[in-house]
């Protein structure tokens, strides 16, 4: 990462908030699409999607300036609620503890990556 990129990621400006908003919209589309709109995939791919989606939500949320603890709690609750809502007749999807665990792992991964990037940025600033 260049110094310019590092400083861009350090700021919590409109770009960061916009990226987080886009990720929230993507998550709504992915998590709440009816079963008929969900493409078939090999076993396990859905877990990768869940992990990646929530890692991206964590990263963009931190970039947007949401505090670590607040973001973690909100995303874990959002993950749990999304799994419960997927079982509604209108979506006709299944609730899965494994999907929720993949979501939580994505939250943790995203927060850890953000912390690593922040430490790297801090070391470059010294």
49-62 pLDDT tens trace: 999 999 999 999 99
Query: Is the Cβ–Cβ distance between 55 and 8 less than 8 Å?
Result: no
- Say what the pTM is: 0.87
SS3 state of residue 92: coil
Q: Is 70 exceeded by the pLDDT of residue 110?
A: yes
Q: Report residue 55 CA to chain centroid gap.
A: 4
pLDDT value for 9: 54
Q: How confident is the model at residue 29 (pLDDT cuts 50, 70, 90)?
A: very high
pLDDT value for 1: 42
Residue ranges covered by each domain of the chain? 3-125
> For tokens 């953000």, what's the residue?
114
DSSP 32: S
Q: At what angle do helices 14-31 and 68-85 cross, to 10 degrees?
A: 20
């Amino acid at each position: 990462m260049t110094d310019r990129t590092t400083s861009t990621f350090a700021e919590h400006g409109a770009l960061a908030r916009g990226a987080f908003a886009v990720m929230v919209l993507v998550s709504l589309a992915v998590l709440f699409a009816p079963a008929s709109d969900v493409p078939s995939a090999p076993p396990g791919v859905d877990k990768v999607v869940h992990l990646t989606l929530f890692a991206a939500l964590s990263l963009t949320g931190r970039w947007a300036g949401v505090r670590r603890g607040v973001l973690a709690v909100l995303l874990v609750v959002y993950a749990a609620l999304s799994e419960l809502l997927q079982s509604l007749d209108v979506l006709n999807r299944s609730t899965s503890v494994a999907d929720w665990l993949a979501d939580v792992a994505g939250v943790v991964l995203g927060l850890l990556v953000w912390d690593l990037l922040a430490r790297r940025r801090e070391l470059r600033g010294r």
